[in-house]
Each structure stands twice: as C-alpha cells, then as structure tokens.
Amino acid sequence: MSDTKITAIQDEYAEDFAHCYGCGRLNEEGHHFRTVWHGEKTYTEYEPDSKHTAIPGFVYGGVIASLIDCHGTGSASLALHRKNGFEPGSGEEPPRFVTASLHVDYLKPTPQGITLKAVGEVEEIHPKKFKVNIEVTADDVVCAKGTVMAVVMPSSFGK
C-alpha cells in the first residue's frame, strides 16, 4: 500500500506538537513519519536516507528505533482518536502521546535502499496508556520488532 493520499494522524497534530524530528510535519529536517490505519492495524512507511548507515548497505539501528518510537505514539493517537469517535481527516485535533518506554529487538541487518514498513497493533492498557507492538519489514522480511508504551502527553509536559 501507499499512504500518500491518506490523511495521517500526524497531519492533524496541533501545531505546537508538530515539530517532532521523527514525525513532525513542521520540522523541515526531520523524518516526516506518517502513521495511518490499515484495517485494524497501523502503518508507517519510510525509506531511510543513504546517510542512515550502520555499516555500508545496512540501516542504522537508531533510525529504526526512531521509526518504531513515532509509529508507536502515532498508533496510540490513532487508537484513542477512534475511541473518541474520530478518524484522521475529520479535522478534529488528535490526542498527542509521549513515549514512556521503547523496546527494540534487532532480528536481522536491515538493508538500505528499500522502503521499510512498520505495522502496529494497539492495546489499551488504561485510558491514558497504550501499548503498541510493532514489526518492521524490508521486502517482507521482519528485520526488527518493537514495543512502545505510550501515554497521553500530560498538560504539565516540560513545565
């Protein structure tokens, strides 16, 4: 699938929350991860840049961790938004999550030059805390698995 014509959850984050280096549409130098529904699962695709090297030919693990991180918070936002009765494209501002914890198992070296696909399953732990289990594939090979615990951004964040 291609997500280019579907509204992503990040497309409707409030402007104050749209500067994330991973997924902020207003961060000119960031990765611009965009997370959408794909059936009951969540989906983000991304082709790392040639500079994002681990050893030549393979993708840097920190970029894979970044993809999993923002895919996790975006997936949690999609899920709570849907629970609240909204879908991306409604124009309603989605809830913004932050990452409480991130876990990544690197299963195989991830080849460069291929669009990576992150697919997530979201589970509500309690109303403000969601767990997202994620697989990252390259050419249908699972290269990494991750888990993100995402919590609704507290209004006190950073204050």
**Which residues on neighbouring strands pair with residue 142, listed in sequence order?**
137
Nearer to its own copies, 80 or 104 (CB): 104
Query: What's the rounded Cα separation, in Å, for the pair 25 and 23?
Result: 6
Q: Which of 8, 9, 63, 80 binds its own copies (CB under 8 A)?
A: 63
CA distance readout (Å), 36 to 5, 22, 55, 113 = 10, 15, 31, 22
Residue 83 phi, psi (nearest 5): -60, -35
Nearer to its own copies, 28 or 40 (CB): 28
Q: Which of 7, 53, 133, 137 binds its own copies (CB under 8 A)?
A: 53
Nearer to its own copies, 70 or 116 (CB): 70
Supply the minimum distance, in Å, between the C-beta of residue 34 and its own copies: 15
Query: What's the rounded Cα separation, in Å, for the pair 63 and 51?
Result: 11
Nearer to its own copies, 85 or 158 (CB): 158
Told to check if 114 binds its own copies by CB under 8 A, we report: no
Query: What's the rounded Cα separation, in Å, for the pair 5 and 106?
Result: 31
Told to check if 155 binds its own copies by CB under 8 A, we report: no
How many CA atoms lie less than 13 Å away from 36 in the CB half-sphere?
17
Which residues here bind its own copies, judged by CB under 8 A?
Answer: 16-17, 19-22, 24, 27-30, 51-58, 60-63, 65-66, 69-70, 98-106, 109, 111, 157-158
